Amino acid sequence: MLAGEGWSAFAGADSVCELMRGGEGGCYSRIFKLGAPQRRINLSSLLPRPQMPDREATAAILDEIALLMELKGENPFKTRAYKTGAEIVRTHSGDIMKLAAEGDLKGIKGIGDALAQKLNEIATTEKLEFHQNLRAEFPEGLFDLFEIQGLGAKKIKALHDKLAVSSIADLKTVCEDGRVAELSGFGKKTAEKVLEAIAYRESNAGRFRQNEVAASVELIEEFLRAHPHVSRVSVAGSYRRGKETLHDLDFIVATKKPQDVLDAFVSADFVEKIVVHGKTKASVHLKDQGIPADLRAVDNESFPFALQYFTGSKEHNVALRGRALKHGFTLNEYRLAPTDESAAPLETLPDEADIYHKLGLPPIDPALRENTGEIEAAEDGNLPNLVTLENLRGTFHNHTTASDGKASLAEMAAAAQDLGLQYLGIADHSKASFQANGLDEARLEKQVEEIAALNAGFDDFRLFSGTECDILKDGSLDFSDATLASLDYVVASIHNAFTLSEKDMTARIIRAIENPHVTMLGHLTGRLLLKREPYAVDIPAVIEAAAATGTIIELNASPWRLDMDWRWWKLAKEKGVKTSINPDAHSPEGLQNLFYGVRAARKGWLERSDVINCLPLGQIEAALARKCS
């Protein structure tokens, strides 16, 4: 059913563990293999695989051991061995899980006998007794503390040891009664920040980012499709609409035997808990993070109506039903029927698109169904021709091992070529981002040379040398104009001093935009979905400044960011501002973030012509140079 919509799910995303460490480094909750090398765009062939005991899951276990040992106050050398182990597991160039399963890790630097044995246990049994025992020494609630912005192992240990904090509720109490403020290394400001973070977490309870659910969506669709009595399957709800965060998953199937299908669904492997098991609907919680999921089983004739209704949004449906009434129809989740009951019933409608046709409209893409003018646009024949993954020809804002990425220039270039891209922009951090090992002028110059050397060896592919240059507190840039001018392009981003007033923050960003060498603005508001609120900034004023100067505004495609938010792109487009859909990749897998970026761009009504990285090699160069010339 999703075929033709051009955004069947594939995924790959930064997990909480890297954010726990406070960096932007790629740490993937799921690793998806890149497709076989091809010279055409094959982005959409990257589907999320159901979770296996893969190397990231293994690395996450080692990371957690290191954390827990730190909490216990163990010898730092022991702790470090696990951290190093996790890095090796993540970055080893061979099939390390296979080697581990075969007990064949000898000779890999950094993996001693004890670690090799543990890796063997994980690879063969999918768990590690040592880890489970260690975890059992701590109260379950303690693990939630790691999700609070600004708390690392050290601080959590202090809270745990000195104030007996072992849950978010405990933490709230000791922040409110002033004990945290008095704790050495904390202070009043930290206590306030922590309380804010707790409030933010509470306001987002029960919501998920797309990357947290994408693999389950694929798995469940596949499961349903394989059922012998199911003829049609689709995900619906907010996931189908490409919302940046969501509350539950919704699936619709067409079947003659709803009870059979619902029975199979609630007894499936992936289900943890059954909430509703009715005749036409089941609601469950998945084993995967307890994600709630609804399934509705309808007959083939009702399927298009159920799919339309349960895709939502509610506001879109209300507006569409209003339009149906004007045309003399009632529209619900089962049918479109004449309001006048004596009139002949409607013939059946085979597809969801036919519902829109019957109401005198072209089909409206699920991404647009938020009642923000899509029905009027459809009526006037002004629906956008939305950008697709396949339209992308390259991408900017990617990191390498030179700063905080996990892969080399050559590896990132190879990964981009595997995806069928024609070019890849490198934008490692600048020196002010010392926590991310940002490059100084000398290292940047060396990277520019390395890129030139690699480019000499490519046919029909090019690396662009850029930088993700820090915007300093006063809006000046971390590199001189001369240095910036030596690059193919510049992404300017904020990575510190998040707490400026809206006025100061806006002025800071606009000053950066006014620099003729700044090609594009990185992650405009700094938000981390469900984790950190955007900083205060006057977005219309920034859009205005970008339009006046010909500065591109990035659509950061990390599922944690999706920044600038889709709700602003219509305004940006009206003002003539272009975007670049940028994965902010810190590894080859990170390039898969483009999937989420395109979904967000579609929600923002963007077309191919609004997105500079749809331009082929040969035309993109001029777009990058437009501002300076």
CB of 315 to Zn ion, least distance (A): 33
Binder of ligand DGT out of 120, 317, 467, 613 (CB under 6 A): 317
> Looking at the DSSP assignment, which residues form a beta bridge with residue 285?
273, 292
Residue pair 392/43 in contact (Cβ under 8 Å)? The answer is yes
- What are 313's two structure tokens? 């949004």
Site for Zn ion in 533-572 (CB under 5 A): none
**Residue 589 binds which entry of Ca ion, Zn ion, ligand DGT, none, CB below 5-8 Å type-dependent:** none
Contact flag: residue 430 with Zn ion (CB under 5 A): no
Q: Is 238 in the site for ligand DGT (CB under 6 A)?
A: yes
- Residue 502 per-residue DSSP state: H
**Least CB distance to ligand DGT at residue 294 (A):** 6
Residue 317 binding: pick among ligand DGT, Ca ion, Zn ion, none (C-beta 5-8 Å cut-off by kind)? ligand DGT
Residue with smaller CB distance to ligand DGT, 305 or 479: 305
Q: Cα separations (Å) of 94 from 35, 82, 586?
A: 17, 19, 19
Peptide bond before 97: cis, by omega within 30 degrees of 0?
A: no
Question: Does 314 contact ligand DGT by CB under 6 A?
Answer: yes
List of E strands, 444-556? 462-470, 491-493, 520-521, 552-556
Q: What CA–CA distance (Å, rounded) separates 494 from 468?
A: 9
For ligand DGT, the closer CB: 96 or 291: 291
Location of structure tokens 């300076």: 628
Q: 394 exposed, middle or buried (CB, 10 Å; 0-12, 13-18, 19+)?
A: buried
Assess 246 for contact with ligand DGT (CB under 6 A). Answer: yes
* Beta carbons of 589 and 32 less than 8 angstroms apart: yes
Pairing outcome for strands 271-277 and 292-298: unpaired
Minimum distance of ligand DGT from residue 11's CB (angstroms):
17
CB 378 within 8 A of CB 362: yes
How many positions of this chain bind Zn ion (CB under 5 A)?
1
Eight-class DSSP state of 66: H
**How big is the site for ligand DGT, counted in residues (CB under 6 A)?**
14
Candidates 91-99, 240-248, 420-428, 434-442; binding stretch for ligand DGT (CB under 6 A): 240-248
Residue 488 contact partner, candidates ligand DGT, Zn ion, Ca ion, none, CB within 5 to 8 A by sort of partner: none
Binding-residue pattern over the window 488 to 517 for Zn ion, x denoting contact by CB under 5 A: -----x------------------------
Task: Tell the smallest beta-carbon distance from residue 212 to ligand DGT (Å).
Answer: 12
Residue 294 or 488: the one with the smaller Cβ distance to ligand DGT is: 294
Q: What is the DSSP string of 70-90?
A: HHHT--HHHHHHHHHHHHHHH
User: Cα(249)–Cα(238) distance, rounded to whole angstroms?
Assistant: 8
- Of 248, 468, 470, 554, which one interacts with ligand DGT (CB under 6 A)? 248
CA distance 11 to 491: 24
Q: How far is the CB of 347 from ligand DGT (least distance, A)?
A: 24
Question: Among 223, 310, 569, 595, which residue interacts with ligand DGT (rule: CB under 6 A)?
Answer: 310
Q: In the structure encoding, which two tokens stand for residue 393, read together?
A: 């020809």
Residue 312 binds: one of Zn ion, Ca ion, ligand DGT, none (C-beta under 5 to 8 A by kind): ligand DGT
Q: Which of ligand DGT, Ca ion, Zn ion, none does residue 310 bind (CB under 5 to 8 Å by kind)? A: ligand DGT
Pinpoint the alpha helices (H) of 568-614.
Answer: 569-574, 594-603
Least CB distance to ligand DGT at residue 391 (A)? 27
> In the complex with Zn ion, which residue's Cβ is closer, 23 or 550?
23
- CB under 8 Å to 598, separation ≥6 — which residues? 7, 387, 388, 389, 392, 557, 581
Cα-trace Rg, the chain: 26
CA-CA distance, 276 to 280, in Å (whole number)?
10
Per the DSSP assignment, residues forming a β-bridge with 241 are: none
| Closer of 250 and 404 to Ca ion (Cβ) | 250
Q: Which stretch binds ligand DGT (CB under 6 A): 41-49, 169-177, 235-243, 398-406?
A: 235-243
* Residue 97 contact partner, candidates Ca ion, Zn ion, ligand DGT, none, CB within 5 to 8 A by sort of partner: none
Residue nearest to ligand DGT (CB): 312
CB 41 within 8 A of CB 35: no
- Per CB under 6 A, does 313 bind ligand DGT? yes
Q: Is-contact 18 399, C-beta < 8 A?
A: no
318 binds, among Zn ion, ligand DGT, Ca ion, none (CB under 5 to 8 A by kind): ligand DGT
Partner from Zn ion, ligand DGT, Ca ion, none contacting 493, C-beta within 5 to 8 A by type: Zn ion
Using CB under 6 A, which of 52, 199, 318, 452 touches ligand DGT? 318
Pick the closest to residue 400 from 442, 429, 430, 420 (CA basis). Answer: 429
Closest distance to ligand DGT from the beta carbon of 207 (Å): 7
The one-letter amino acid at 623: A
Taking CB within 5 to 8 Å according to partner kind, which of Zn ion, ligand DGT, Ca ion, none is near residue 314?
ligand DGT
| Residues in touch with Ca ion (CB under 5 A) | 237-238, 248, 250, 294
Token digits for 483?
Answer: 């240095």
**Considering CB distances under 5 to 8 angstroms, the limit depending on partner class, which of Ca ion, Zn ion, ligand DGT, none binds residue 210?**
none
Q: From the CB of 208, what's the least distance to ligand DGT, in Å?
A: 9
* 398 contacts Zn ion (rule: CB under 5 A): no
We find the least distance from the C-beta atom of residue 361 to ligand DGT, in angstroms, to be 18
Q: Would you call 249 helix, strand, or coil by DSSP?
A: strand
CB 148 within 8 A of CB 201: yes
Question: From start to end of 531-629, where are the E strands?
Answer: 552-556, 579-582
Question: Cβ 400 to Ca ion, closest distance in Å?
Answer: 38
Please give the Cα distance from 537 to 565 (Å, whole number).
13
Q: Which residues of the chain form contacts with ligand DGT (CB under 6 A)?
A: 237-238, 243, 246-248, 250, 309-310, 312-314, 317-318
Q: Which residues of the chain form contacts with Zn ion (CB under 5 A)?
A: 493
